[in-house]
Structure 1
Amino acid sequence: MTSTTERPAASREPSWWDKQGDLIMRRPFNEWTFTHMNWLMPTERVARGATHLPLPVGIRPLNVRYRFQDRDFTLSDLHRRTHSTAFVVLHRGTIVHETYPGAFTGSRSRMQLFSLSKSVTSILVGIALRDGLIGSEKDRITDYRPDFLGTAYEENTIAELLDMTTGVGDLETWEVPNSGIKQFEQTIMGGGDIADVVRAATRTAPAGERFNYSTFDTQMLGWVLEAATGQSLATYASEKLWQKLGCDRDAYYWLTRGRPRTAIGGGSLNATARDVARVGLLMANGGVAGDEQIVPAEWVRRSRGNDRPQLAVGSLGPSGYAHYGYANQWWTLGSESRDAFTGLGVHGQYLFVDPDAEVVIVKCSAWPTQDDERRDAETVAALRSVADHLAHR
């Protein structure tokens, strides 16, 4: 059933709190805020395990040039032109290149990952499905969250959340003051229950028909996961990922200011670049870390792409750039030679995985705007060039 509920009306005059998200994300402040979100928001710890498993380090020159808009550039050019704050490259499980161009970053800095968090949420859902805590991806959302009966999400399945084909919500546009995502952000920062914002979303297309990038969809996915496991995202991520990967540091999710406080499964994970690289290495190795199959191999495979035409590279429509497809909360980059895929976050956060080249790259950034098609295309060109270079070594 389609909801006809209007968005929650503002209960007070706009204040500094309503603009806080804009201030946090504005350059040059974002070079600091993106590494200090725990100073700005309530948080919940993603505890690392008692066993630390250091990544091997074998730094060597990475003299890579990439071509963009008919010009050749170096990696130093990339960092300057796209405001890199961290850049870590793994080849065959070894750190071969690592630099921290950000003013406040280093190997122990925990980076605000924004929507790269969505890919981690997907991994956790895959684990919960394997363990039988979620019965099936064909289950309805309301099997786990009956409080969404009577909303636009009432008939949607978990599978539709994973591929963002629910048909719920408007185009995710940060520049429109009253858009769904801006309402969501203002409620996160200023108080109130974000579930009310998500419940007010309306249906804009039949389920399964088209792709529409939606943080609401991933927020629902995180809530389904928490309901199914009986644990918070942070606790479950600690138990199923951080402890098993032997991470360097605790990660954390920041939480909404209003109560009930909740993590943003689509955007509030913070972790070191090296620990994010560990997550990428897990995916590059088919879900295996050490001698344990942590994520089902089939779950990893489906994250590399599928045969659904509306999710193919170049077919995503207005909420996806032409060089991307989508699958399972990951952006796909299928090519004739290799099927690389990447987690993405606004302001230039990347977890690039090329399993065939045995390459994982983490790039964190502090772009002046949430989205930037030119900077994104340039970054993808550079990351592909790094993977191509290492694939022949």
Structure 2
Amino acid sequence: MTSTTQRPATLAPPAKAPSWWDRQGDLIMRRPFNEWTFTHMNWLMPVERVPHGGIHRPLPVDPCPLDLTYRFDGGDHTIAELHRRTFTTAFVVLHHGRIVHEAYPGAFAGPRTRMQLFSVSKSVTSILIGIALAEGAIGDVHDRVTDYRPDFAGTAFHETTIAELLTMTSGVGDLEAWDVPDSGIKRFEQAVMGGGDVTQVVRAAPRLAEPGTRFNYSTFDAQLLGWVLESATGMSLAAYAADRLWRHLGADRDAYYWLTRAHPRTAIGAGSFNATARDVARLGLLMADNGVVAGRQIVPRDWVRLSRGNDDPATAVGALGPSGYDHYGYANQWWTLGSASFDAFTALGVHGQYLYIDPSAHVVIVKCSAWPTQDDPRRDLETITALRRIADHFACAR
């Protein structure tokens, strides 16, 4: 009788669990840790300072109790409930340039705490682009990306103009999905934080629509704007922001951009600006005052007006499609809430960052938050409802 020895079946090696290095973006953004990380990004990533310069212009304080309520989901809610329901960490309200309300519900937040602003940074980049156009460092919004970044020749951005980047109608890149592991935005995040080639991630983005025909919210478009600005000016984003913008505001503190881990390190003009809530309010006041600080025109008046809305049907309120909410339009890297030049508009960042500006009411509101998720349509709608109610309250009180 003979016997045969059966060889065991070959098993595939177990899948390698993602390392901390691969998952650090998820960990930084997870509650409750994000209340700490969003106020300590300079402890977690390399940074470049944006010095505030020698001018300090204190914001007058004129406290006014916000004992109003806003209507949402069939109920009336107080501002204290807004903070609890939407995980507010910092909240500053200006009326006619005065601080009328200020609160810091976040465990690690205070008047001197620099907050991680995420995509509010995109609106800051837009301000800087407007300044660069006015001084001639950038020739025209209809210049092509490749006029300043020839390394993008042959990519989907080859024919893209600066104007198309500003309105996020480049037609390049997929729908931003933070919960899809291999989406473009997740590859971008992993390259930024894990030491990868960020430029290559953006260069590899596919074209999905003809330029200028469709809005698609795009961190890649905004990041490329920052790179165009650096190439045009010969200065880093932080250095240009400090010299042309921050030192004129009378800010309380230096701001900073955190940078990619890989060399050459680069600022994330699409999402790495950090500043105190009061200093962010100063940015809002600058835009509410048509680009003027202490009688000096810092941002061109026409550029400010472009940021409040336009007549482009592709970016009108309610027309943004799957990558925008129905109550928003888009213009010049800002989210618009109407069509008239004096309607409210806002900068937005994931996890609930807002710089809300209502020029006709002379109101600026900064809300920093630590949402459990990057995007949340219900919390966003509740927040905008409450901010509009506050602005209306002060408009009636003037």
Q: Could you say which TM-score interval applies, normalised by the shorter chain?
A: over 0.9
Residue pair 2:259, 2:268 contacting (<8 A) in 1 also: yes
The amino acid across from 2:279 in the alignment is: D
Aligned to 1:26: 30
Aligned length, in residue pairs? 382
Please tell me whether the aligned partners of residues 309 and 341 of structure 2 are also in contact (alpha carbons under 8 angstroms).
Answer: no
2:317 partner amino acid? V
Instruction: Give matches, 1:177-196, under 5 Å.
Output: 177-196=181-200
* Residue 49 (structure 1) shift: 1.0
Equivalence for 1:3: none
State the TM-score, normalized to the length of structure 1. 0.96
- Contact kept, 8 Å, 1:166 with 1:206, in 2: the verdict is yes
What's 1:270 paired with? 274
Q: Which residue number in structure 2 is paired with residue 89 of structure 1?
A: 93
1:79 aligns with 2:112: no
Instruction: Calculate the TM-score normalised by the size of structure 2.
Output: 0.95
Q: Which residue of 2 aligns with 1:279?
A: 283
Q: In structure 2, how many angstroms separate the alpha carbons of the residues matched to 1:53 and 1:130?
A: 25
| 1:62 has 2:70 as partner | no
Larger radius of gyration: 2
Please show how residues 207-226 of structure 1 align to structure 2 within 5 Å. Answer: 207-226=211-230
Identity among equivalent positions (%) equals 73
Task: Give the CA deviation at 1:28.
Answer: 0.2
SS in 1 for 2:354: strand
Equivalent position of 2:356 in the other structure: 352
Which position in structure 2 is the counterpart of 1:342?
Answer: 346
Alpha-carbon distance, 1:93 to partner: 0.3
Runs of 4+ in 1 over 6 A off after TM superposition: none
Q: Which amino acid aligns with 1:124?
A: L
Task: Provide closer, same or farther for how the CA distance between residues 209 and 105 of structure 1 changes in structure 2, counting only shifts above 3 A.
Answer: same
User: Where in structure 2 are the equivalents of 1:121-200 lying within 5 Å?
Assistant: 121-200=125-204
Larger mean CA deviation between 364-373 and 55-64 belongs to 55-64
Report what 1:206 is aligned to. Answer: 210
Rounded Cα–Cα distance in structure 2 between residues aligned with 1:187 and 1:46: 24
What root-mean-square deviation, in Å, do the aligned CA atoms of Structure 1 and Structure 2 show? Answer: 1.2
State the SS of the aligned residue for 2:83: helix
Answer whether contact 1:193 1:260 (CA < 8 A) is retained: no
Shift of 1:13: 8.1
Cα contact 2:308–2:341 (8 A) shared by 1: no
Residue of 373, 383, 394 corresponding to 1:390:
394
Question: What letter corresponds to residue 288 of structure 2 in structure 1?
Answer: A
Match of 1:379 in 2: 383
Q: Shift in Å at residue 15 of structure 1?
A: 2.2
C-alpha displacement of 1:69: 1.4
Distance in 2 between the 1:237 and 1:380 partners? 28
| Post-superposition offset of 1:335 | 6.8
Query: Secondary structure, in 3 states, of the residue corresponding to 1:314?
Result: coil
The answer for unaligned runs of 5 or more in structure 1 is 1-11
Distance 1:286 1:145 in 2: 31
The superposition leaves residues 10-40 of structure 1 with CA deviations (integer Å, 9 ceiling, x where unpaired) of xx98421110000000000000000000000
Q: Whole-Å Cα distance in 2 between the matches of residues 190 and 373 of structure 1? A: 29
Secondary structure at the aligned position of 1:392 is classed as helix
Are the equivalent residues in 1 in contact too, given 2:343–2:358 (CA < 8 A)? yes
